[in-house]
Amino acid sequence: MANNSLLNTPVVWVNKYLQAKLSVLGFATIPFFPTSPSTIESLTQTFPSGGIMATYDRMFKMSRSSFPHIKCEQLLYYFYATAENSITNMVQVTEAVHRLLNRGDESAVEVNDWCSNRRVNVGTEQQQDLLDNIFYFHDFKVYQLEETRDIIDFGTARTYGGNKIIIDFDYHIVPSGDDKDTTTYSDWSPEAKLTGNNKIII
């Protein structure tokens, strides 16, 4: 698959980085799911037994600069832990994310270095579709707007710990390969000018 595939997003790389780093805490690979419409009951059925999972929303921010190629985004994460040691697990996960990604450009340097040595498989183990990183991260911040930790009772036999974390980051896109650039990679070119009856009818 071409690296300029629309499946190659900065979210993929941030998620993979967090999965790798959080596994050091002793958790199995933490699944990350994009937020989708669901009932609370159906959501709880997907929770790993005795582990951690996360859902996320990608949010585009208004750029703070007139330069169009620096992109500003946020990732809103909801981390969940099942009943056993749920509070301890949430404290560990929250502190790990805070320490990893709340150091501005220092965090960005570490994420860029980590991504440079890896490819993401967006296919299957049998039929791989591999992507290289085409994003250069500038800055990361971590914060919360409202509650820091909830104990969530879903009306089931189990109780869950939950935590909401926002990751704010800036980046630009670079072409893959040897020809590195600091602007957005694009193959756009002007169309040939048509006149009169030769113009396309839409």
pLDDT digits (tens, 9 = 90+) for 101-148: 999 999 999 999 999 999 999 888 888 889 999 999 999 999 886 655
At residue 155, the pLDDT reads 44
Predicted pLDDT of residue 154 = 46
Q: Is it the case that residue 156 has pLDDT exceeding 60? A: no
Contacts of 194 (CB under 8 A, 6+ apart): 200
Quote the CA–CA distance of 190 and 178 in Å, as a whole number: 26
Q: Quick one: pLDDT at residue 170?
A: 95
Q: What is the reported pTM?
A: 0.79
Q: Which two tokens stand for residue 186?
A: 């694009």
Angle at Cα 74 formed by Cα 188 and Cα 51, nearest 5°? Answer: 120
Distance CA(44)–CA(153), nearest Å, equals 10
For residue 100, pLDDT over 80 is answered with yes
Answer positive or negative: Cα dihedral of 182, 188, 192, 193.
negative
In this prediction, residue 9 has a pLDDT band, given cuts at 50, 70 and 90, of: very high
**Sign of dihedral through CA atoms 158, 161, 166, 167?**
negative
Burial of 125 per CB tally in 10 Å (0-12, 13-18, 19+): exposed
- Which pLDDT score is estimated for 187? 63
At 62, the pLDDT band (50, 70, 90 cuts) reads confident
Task: Using the Cα atoms of residue 122, residue 124, residue 125 and residue 127 in order, give the sign of their dihedral.
Answer: negative
